[in-house]
Structure 1
Amino acid sequence: MRWQRSNRAANCAIVCLAISLFTPFVPSAVRAASESSATDRWAFQSLVESDWDKQEQRRGRSPSSPDAIRDALERSRQLLDDLRRMPGFPDDPAAEKALERLRGESGNLDSLGEDQRLALYHRARAFSRDLALKNPLLDSRPIVFLKRRRFICQMLHEYLGYFYDYENIEGGGVFILEKPGRSLATRD
């Protein structure tokens, strides 16, 4: 029984990490965005890009900084290499060409203007995001995640605490993200 609890907690932690990587954290008022109209798709893309900007701010840099672009391209390369080793991932020479094209554009970052670097950063992150969503473990499958009210200094242990309920915090629950990376629509 102890192994089952820790295994469930570990699986939950992995799912929560996947959620944080592939979907932006947004206010609940925006969760009703649908993917039907161009305006909604633009709004969803803006939320994703806003989340990317916040991630770079937490690293103490701007998304248009050369280091941010190099890191985004390196993570894309690592992700593509990892996905290639997965069973069920289709051989995709177009992805390799797209990555090489992005790396070629990043060859002389210092000569690019800030707007050009920001556009390159967003293209690199969008490429990586699209790759991640092609992962056979995530592709077109709903993701179960936990949502809890947070307290000061709370981090990943909140998800482990869901199973042990050590703080007896009210609120939250188990939700399903219907279309990961494509919509913020959830259900209980």
Structure 2
Amino acid sequence: TSSNERADRIGPQTAGSFHKLAYSLARLQRLPRKTTLWASFSGQAAGKNLDSSEKMSLGGPFGVRAYPILEGTGDDGWLATVEARYNLLPELQLAVFYDHGWIKQSHDPAYTGSPLVNTGTLKGAGLSVSWTQTASFSLKAVWARRIDDNPFANPLDGKDTDGSLDKNRFWLTAIKFF
């Protein structure tokens, strides 16, 4: 056996086959006066500890936007988002949002080297403005602020996995349709 196989047997035991259920629900509800309400709920449930390529992550511009990419990564978890959107112009939209996610870093944490904190939530809220040219492109600027502390922060310095400790986070995303 290779050293990787031996290490996996005493570690997280991610080798071999696995089962994972991924799910997603979303609703866009029209309200009066150029306003819409967007709600989404997604997540995954694993049958065992997963390889890092199969884990879900809560942070980033398409998750809990108040946290960096790959923050709150785990085998089991869910993400909920609610946005109230207002169309200033047909192509210009303002939104206020709330993101909330829960993650279980290791499905079965009973191994050498398992995380100190295995489960936790990340929460954030903020504002966004987006400009969309139908069938061409979309630009979105986001300001998000965290709610509560990060349960997965480095225990020595309190920083996130990317080495930052930003209470406010800004994102700019661009999408080209073709």
Higher RCO (CA 8 Å, separation ≥ 6 residues): 1
Q: TM-score, normalised by structure 2?
A: 0.19
Higher share of residues assigned helix: 1
